[in-house]
A and B are shown apart, each in its own frame.
Chain A
Amino acid sequence: MAVLSVDDLTVAYGDHTVFSNLSFTINSGDFLVVVGENGVGKTTLVKALLGLIKPKEGTINIPKDTRLGYVPQFRNLDEEYPLSIRDFVALNSRQSRWPWLTKKERHRLDRIIRITDLTKIAGRPLGLASGGEKQRAYLAQALLTNPRLLILDESTASLDNEMKYSLLDLVARFQEDGLSVMFITHDWDLAQRYGTRYLHMQADGYTAGSINELAAIVKGEEEC
């Protein structure tokens, strides 16, 4: 079952077309990796999917029951950022509108914090957390609403290898429970290790398919 489908999508900033006639579908349980050089419009695509920019042409179809979770590449939080990790994650609690968290919301929050291995440091200010801890907190916040599709925009770019794997292993566990993932990355190794399908964006078009086919493209890129 599709959690997102994009049909003939063209996005432009003024006269400058970022990409055109892009079509792809993400099904339930897919781990779609989006690869491609800088400037081919990967982040622009994410913005369009999140509704932050209006496409010029084409349609983005997100079924009503698809909740989106989004983990950005970068957040502008300095070391004096005051909220604790727990309070930061809780910002995304949306089951009720009370100023305080309901019992149900607290349970969900505790569970997500436990799964993302943040329990021990949950009381510490996020501003003082390490890069890996911050990304785990961003992931926990996105997972709090129990999304059906999680979009990771270069979320591992600033992490060392071990942290990359541990973050994506965590995501993969949710994927086994039916979460679909769209992972934007530069890292071909990670793409092949975790992806089930790929979307390769290029300046003059795109290719998409099962992850096994990506190997041939990788080989081609390496020869270039």
Chain B
Amino acid sequence: MLSLAFMRHAFVASNFIAIVSGVIGVFVVARQLSFLTHTLSEIGFAGASFAVFAGWAPLDGMILFTMLSSVLVGQMSIKESRREAVISAVSGLFIGLGILFLSLSSQTASSATSILFGSVVGISASEVHQLIILSAVVLAITVLIYRQLKFSSFDEVGAQVSGFNQTVISVVFLLLLALSVSVAAQIVGSLLIFILLTIPAASAKYFTHGVAKMMGLAILFSLLGTWAGLLLGYLTNWPVSFFIAVIEVIIYVIALLYQNFIEAN
């Protein structure tokens, strides 16, 4: 299986995607940004479609669109009372735009499927390099702001009086999230991004009670899903995204059962 170049690329890419998703996912869950992540994935879809239309690499379009809009959408959805409506409106608008760009470009059906649902076959060596660089950027910035990000994500009230600027941290995090969405979309597609960006971290929090440990576990769950997904996809010829989704959901269900067991005892 690994004698095939595209499978090797997919495995390398999935390792970096798993690490980025695990690390960023823990903060997504703590900051309760799952819905925003979903919206960003739809914005990413529009960006990738635009890239296809403009003749760029889909990843470039995704990065452009998600980076430009993440802060705006994040700020618009701060007020809880209007969060749902804002997110619906933005999602709708960008899915619409995505469909428009696809219909304007000559290649439609196959590129739409690969953007929406991911396509491991499509990852070239240069795309893997780009993905590694992006992952390194996300992780390096996370390390730089780690303490502040951790404080403001896990204790907003306490962080308010700790002297650092919470708005700056929140904006930087939204940009990191935008980059992570673009990275993760390469394997699972834009529709299933939250499968890697929220579910592994949401499962991890039931098993362990420290931030670094949650990250480690979330990375492990992501790796498990992507590796097994690639293997099963290769063996059965069924979509890799399907297997990844099923595996992550099974892990989540086990986590919930574990939590119930703990509470009952």
Contacts and interface: CB of A to CB of B under 8 A. Distances in A.
A83 B161 CA distance: 20
Summarize A's interface: helix, strand, loop or mixed. Answer: loop
A72 B150 CA distance: 19
Contact of B151 (A92, A100, A123): A92
Interface in A54-96: 68, 70, 72, 75-76, 80, 82-84, 87-88, 91-94
Most chain-A Cβ atoms within 10 A of its Cβ — which of B30, B150, B151, B157? B157
A91 B161 contact: no
Nearest to A73: B157
A87 B209 contact: yes
Interface string B4-48: 000000000000000000000000001000000000000000000
B211 interface: yes
Interface in B164-215: 205-206, 208-212, 214
B161 A123 contact: no
A206 to B, nearest CB: 24
Contact of B147 (A80, A83, A93): A93
Interface string A99-137: 110000000000000000000000111000000000000
B160 interface: yes
Given A87-B210, A94-B147, A99-B147, A82 B205 contact: yes
Contacts of A123: 209
A173 B155 CA distance: 26
Contact of A70 (B150, B156, B161, B209): B161
A87 B158 contact: no
Nearest to A75: B157
A97 interface: yes
Summarize B's interface: helix, strand, loop or mixed. Answer: helix
A153 B205 CA distance: 30
Nearest to A82: B205
B154 A84 contact: no
B98 to A, nearest CB: 35
B157 A83 contact: no
A100 B146 CA distance: 9
A75 B150 CA distance: 16
B109 interface: no
B158 A83 contact: no
Interface in B208-258: 208-212, 214
A88 B210 CA distance: 9
Nearest to A79: B263
B209 A125 contact: yes
A141 interface: yes
A157 interface: no
Nearest to A87: B210
B209 A83 contact: yes
A198 B214 CA distance: 45
A219 B198 CA distance: 57
- 3 cross-chain pairs, A with B, having the tightest CB-CB distances, nearest first: A84-B209, A82-B205, A99-B146
29 contacts: A68-B161, A70-B161, A75-B155, A75-B157, A82-B30, A82-B206, A82-B208, A83-B209, A84-B209, A87-B211, A88-B154, A88-B155, A91-B150, A91-B154, A91-B155, A92-B151, A93-B147, A94-B162, A97-B147, A99-B143, A99-B146, A99-B147, A99-B212, A100-B212, A123-B209, A138-B158, A141-B155, A141-B158, A142-B158
Given A76-B156, A92-B158, 4 more contacts: A75-B155, A76-B157, A80-B205, A124-B209
